Chains A and B, each alone.
Chain A
Amino acid sequence: MIKRTYDWIDERLNVTPLWRDLADHDVPAHVNPANKMSSFVYCFGGLTFLIIVTQILSGMFLSMYYVPDINNAYYSVKYITDQVLLGQVVRGMHFWGASLVIIMMFLHMLRVFFTGAYKAPRELNWVVGVLIFVVVLAFGFTGYLLPWDQKAYWATSVGANLASAVPFIGPYLKILLAGGSTIGALTLTRFFAIHVFFLPAALLVLLGLHFIMIRKAGIAGPM
């Protein structure tokens, strides 16, 4: 039955080649922890991706309740934490997940670095990786403001002030970032939009490139 359905779809859309490209390849022995325990370092990229997926899912649920305006943002987060069924857990996932992504991504980068896997022909994938790193840090910076508590507010004002240290364009950069001369209503909506629309779009594109390039070049061989 499943096979018949599959064949029916395949006849019309010819999905088998797509599917082959995606999943039909061998995993070399030296990256498989089942062969050698120390190969677990090759799992860090996959685990980072797993946490990215949980971040996206928990973020989607948080956005059902979160309100990005300065009067209600704080109370909506309070409501999520104290009232919503499992709200504490979903918020916990998103909060701790943010740190975990950074830790796992850093470990993944160190493993790529110390195994020299960025060397030819994988240079471009390393560059994409560094861009991913920057995007993930930007997620952290914009997300930190959203609960609109004291910590959020004052850390962001320090951050926005630092932008004005950039020569020439600094003051404009600060206004671009904060939406005005002080941290306020416009900053919050701006950070919210960046956090939930701009950055996810950038991250998904970059991750797509990352994975395509891994498939093209394959995982680097044993050292």
Chain B
Amino acid sequence: MAGEDPREKIPGVPRRRPVHKEISDGREPFFPNFLLKEWIVGSIFLVGFMLWIIFNPVELGPKADPMDSSFIPVPDWYFLFLYQLLKYFGPYLLFPAVLIPMVATLLLMFVPWLDTRRSRRPFRRPFATGAMVLSVFMMIWLTSEAWNQHLYEIGALQPAASSLPFATQHPASTTLMATNLPGYAIFKTTCAVCHGADLQGQIGPELRGIGNVATEAELLPVVTKGFPPMMPPAGGLTSKTELQEVVAWLAQQKQK
């Protein structure tokens, strides 16, 4: 009979609490006690989530246009670290696109057989802990690099003027000078995509008035070196004479 059962009834369900030897060891029945508490945590979490959603409405970009290859692709943020990895390997896709992710996933999967120390404490197994901390750090760093470079690419960030070798003074005049030089034509086809057809700056900085702050001799090594990865060496030019012509033209840009 129910009355003879020494176990305490759990209200609302046809079950009884098991008798514990030590009552106060902090254990708690999963159902309903713990689940109710967990539900409180979950509710607070959900409220925060819903508030975030209401204040951050999702956008929809322009419709896909397979013809428009000028669109700068960007994956969702959690793939950015892999995307960034691609950039360091140039045309050798096998490593960043296949081998590295595959090996990393397999290593992660076989962690229980790689880390065979008995102890579970993180400091007692420094190799495993160190490897994980390092990987997480690398992923965060690659993600932030990828994101910053993407912002440069879409022109949302202008390079900080102070880090540039030549601080141009943003002259009021916008007319180009010496447009009869051969360097102008070369500029229009190579450099203008980044520095703007009127030198106004887009992805790269504004170059108006650069002739006031730099001579041809000073410009040549800077342009030759470029600013990888933001500006390729020589701006992508392969011919040395063309490079000299562009720089000669650039040195004439003495807008006031």
Please name all residues of chain B whose beta carbon is closer than 8 Å to the beta carbon of A95 when the two chains form the complex: 58
Query: Which B40-56 residues have C-beta < 8 A from chain A?
Result: 41-42, 45-46, 49-50, 52-54, 56
Interface stretch of the complex, out of A149-157, A190-198, A200-208: A149-157
A99–B92 Cα distance when bound, in Å, is: 30
Please name all residues of chain B whose beta carbon is closer than 8 Å to the beta carbon of A100 when the two chains form the complex: 49
Q: Are B30 and A140 in contact (CB under 8 A)?
A: no
Q: Are B63 and A150 in contact (CB under 8 A)?
A: yes
Q: Are B71 and A150 in contact (CB under 8 A)?
A: yes
Query: Which A138-187 residues have C-beta < 8 A from chain B?
Result: 140-141, 144, 147-155, 157-159, 162, 165-167, 182-184
Residue B79 is within 8 A (CB to CB) of chain A in the complex: yes
Write the chain A residue with the least CB distance to B12: A2
Q: How many CB-defined contacts (below 8 Å) exist between A and B?
A: 192
**Known contacts A81-B58, A158-B75: A115-B53 contact under CB 8 Å:** no
Q: Are A165 and B98 in contact (CB under 8 A)?
A: yes
Q: How far is the CB of B46 from chain A (nearest CB, A)?
A: 7
Please name all residues of chain A whose beta carbon is closer than 8 Å to the beta carbon of B79 when the two chains form the complex: 137, 140-141
A148–B64 Cα distance when bound, in Å, is: 6
Q: Are B45 and A47 in contact (CB under 8 A)?
A: yes
| Residue of A29, A126, A147, A151 with most partner-chain B CB within 10 A | A151
Residue A210 is within 8 A (CB to CB) of chain B in the complex: no
Residue B145 is within 8 A (CB to CB) of chain A in the complex: no
Query: Which A82-129 residues have C-beta < 8 A from chain B?
Result: 88-89, 91-93, 95-100, 102, 110, 113-120, 122-123, 126-127
Query: Which A7-43 residues have C-beta < 8 A from chain B?
Result: 7, 16, 20, 23-30, 32-35, 40, 43
A interface, over-half SS: helix
Q: How far is the CB of B188 from chain A (nearest CB, A)?
A: 27
A7–B129 Cα distance when bound, in Å, is: 52
Q: Are A123 and B57 in contact (CB under 8 A)?
A: no
**Known contacts A88-B58, A134-B105, A223-B120: A23-B31 contact under CB 8 Å:** yes
Please name all residues of chain A whose beta carbon is closer than 8 Å to the beta carbon of B60 when the two chains form the complex: 74, 77-78, 81, 147, 149
A147–B58 Cα distance when bound, in Å, is: 11
Q: Are A153 and B66 in contact (CB under 8 A)?
A: yes
Residue A209 is within 8 A (CB to CB) of chain B in the complex: no
For chain A, the count of residues having a C-beta within 8 Å of the partner chain is 83
Please name all residues of chain A whose beta carbon is closer than 8 Å to the beta carbon of B122 when the two chains form the complex: 114-116
Query: Which B58-93 residues have C-beta < 8 A from chain A?
Result: 58, 60-66, 68, 71-79, 83, 86, 93
Please name all residues of chain A whose beta carbon is closer than 8 Å to the beta carbon of B120 when the two chains form the complex: 115-117, 119, 220, 223
Residue A3 is within 8 A (CB to CB) of chain B in the complex: yes
**Known contacts A89-B54, A96-B53, A140-B78: A118-B112 contact under CB 8 Å:** yes
Write the chain A residue with the least CB distance to B121: A223
Please name all residues of chain A whose beta carbon is closer than 8 Å to the beta carbon of B34 when the two chains form the complex: 27, 32
Residue A50 is within 8 A (CB to CB) of chain B in the complex: yes
Q: Are B97 and A154 in contact (CB under 8 A)?
A: no
Q: Are B42 and A157 in contact (CB under 8 A)?
A: no
Q: Are B64 and A152 in contact (CB under 8 A)?
A: yes
B residues bordering A, Cβ < 8 Å?
14-15, 18, 25-31, 34-35, 37-38, 41-42, 45-46, 49-50, 52-54, 56-58, 60-66, 68, 71-79, 83, 86, 93-94, 97-98, 105, 108-109, 111-113, 115, 118-122, 125, 128-129, 132, 136
A residues bordering B, Cβ < 8 Å?
3, 6-7, 16, 20, 23-30, 32-35, 40, 43, 46-47, 50-51, 54, 70, 74, 77-78, 81, 88-89, 91-93, 95-100, 102, 110, 113-120, 122-123, 126-127, 130-131, 133-134, 137, 140-141, 144, 147-155, 157-159, 162, 165-167, 182-184, 220, 223
Q: A24-B30, A26-B30, A91-B58 are in contact. List 6 more A-B contacts (CB 8 A).
A: A89-B50, A92-B56, A123-B113, A140-B79, A153-B66, A165-B93
